[in-house]
Structure 1
């Protein structure tokens, strides 16, 4: 399906008909927004990206959904992409608390839901998937369906218990390093080299698109997270893994995941799917890395087919 589309679609240009806009949050923060509407929409999708992401990385996926009749709305998270920075250093991803982001999402969702035709679907990748699911469990948003791609329900294990890693991050914050980067760019790594590509995608061409946009729009580039981000990430993921809240989740959810993900913990995702009564899992193996929507054509086709089949069943046109 998408392999043919990928040859025709220019991933390095804003699509004709898509509009780059500014959304103003309740506190006056200026968020960068992309809007791609249909004349006769099948429904509306709100797409929220992952940590250090920016919406240009997912233009091809927006195209896939748009070509199926969906309105597309996406907004760079506060402190990422073209939505400014929350810390002193432009290349360090910083946030005071993840609740700031879920508050932004709730406000955005309310305006989006009121002004876009249904069915309404919220899609989140990685950190965005974490924040979407947290907003769902806290009843901040109530879409007709949700799709989560490799959601960050727990960081991938690195041989250190979570409580130890969070304690270290707390200690670094106490030392006054809350806004400093928690790792070197080459360690995690966040530079254009093969090791980082292996964490994200097997598709070298799609991977290189990111660096095209870094050159074309340098303001979208973001590097390591801050120590405060790390500490708050452990706190937020632990809060999200509330069995009672997950078991009460009655919104249809499709989760795309890969068993070899080195950035988020796959077993935690499977446990969460088992708790949520209307959750479904589309599981990939070593053929897919973390960024499923930016993988090779066979993986993308399979993931997109799962998404469209899911939406036809749970969110038919109104």
Structure 2
């Protein structure tokens, strides 16, 4: 029997459990699992983007759990309920994305061993980028992947991307790597993340209710690390990732480069691409008229794996 939710975006579902696990270097990471009470159709690993926490995506996880998937995932190091990089927890900082790829690889190895097949990954933005990097390293055991608004290239409206890369390198060289790139959380400005005011309010509600999981603006070090990590996915690497992949994005995404996503889709040997009109970066948290067709497209794609 399905549990009723007054607001599914603001309630932890019955049966979802959070635990701490330690990365290979001892870093504390918050993970969660929401298994099926009976036989599952398969297991889904859900991965969030930069500065995210899993509570933002409860609505869509409830949907997929209702379709029979075991659900699992974790907060990336430096954000959510995982150990932070800096004394100021609201600065989203990294010096290198390689430890994030290592964390993901370790988690996937354990997850595959402990859960039922098929094993699929649904990942957003930075999480989608890191999924591609992991698949280039170890594709074994992953039956399909959905990459929503994948961070294959970065876009900042009105600013040449070469200038952003140059500024991040210069800031790091003069000792400003841990400084925030902006005085305000640019993710909360206007409709950049989602055009849905209710879902924007949900994010702020969670940050106020559980401030320990909140993150904010990226550091210059994070920006430089992101550019370096993107450079590790050249055309030659993408062209050998044979995992079935669905890429979905909004045409006007203000955060990631949609042209780069289209280019990657043409290179990946077993990829499908869906671009929607309108909406922000977080297309799984959009208003229903945009969100539901995206979720239906994902469901159709994943149906081929189970």
In structure 1, what is the equivalent of residue 268 of structure 2? 276
Q: State the Cα deviation string for residues 155-179 of structure 1 (Å, max 9, x = none).
A: 1144444343222211111211111
Q: Map of 1:110-259 to 2, 5 A cutoff?
A: 110-139=109-138, 142-185=141-184, 189-191=186-188, 196-240=189-233, 242-259=234-251
In structure 2, what is the equivalent of residue 24 of structure 1? 22
Which of 281, 297, 302 in structure 1 is aligned with 2:293? 302
The question of whether the paired residues in 1 share the 8 Å contact of 2:47 and 2:127 is answered with yes
- Structure 2 residue runs without a partner (length 5+): none
Q: Which is richer in helix?
A: 1
Q: State the Cα deviation string for residues 122-145 of structure 1 (Å, max 9, x = none).
A: 111011111111111233664110
Alpha-carbon separation, structure 2, partners of 1:139 and 1:163? 31
Distance 1:199-1:255 versus aligned 2 partners, 3 A rule? same
Matched, 1:91 2:84: no
- Structure 1 residue runs without a partner (length 5+): none
Aligned length: 303
Alpha-carbon separation, structure 1, partners of 2:140 and 2:101? 9
Normalised to the residue count of structure 2, the TM-score between the two structures is 0.94
Alpha-carbon separation, structure 1, partners of 2:197 and 2:79? 24
Alpha-carbon separation, structure 1, partners of 2:187 and 2:8? 24
Cα RMSD (Å): 1.7
Q: Which secondary structure state, in structure 1, belongs to the residue aligned with residue 247 of structure 2? A: strand
Q: Offset at 1:302?
A: 0.7
Distance 1:101-1:63 versus aligned 2 partners, 3 A rule? same
Alpha-carbon separation, structure 1, partners of 2:8 and 2:236? 45
The question of whether the paired residues in 1 share the 8 Å contact of 2:187 and 2:193 is answered with no
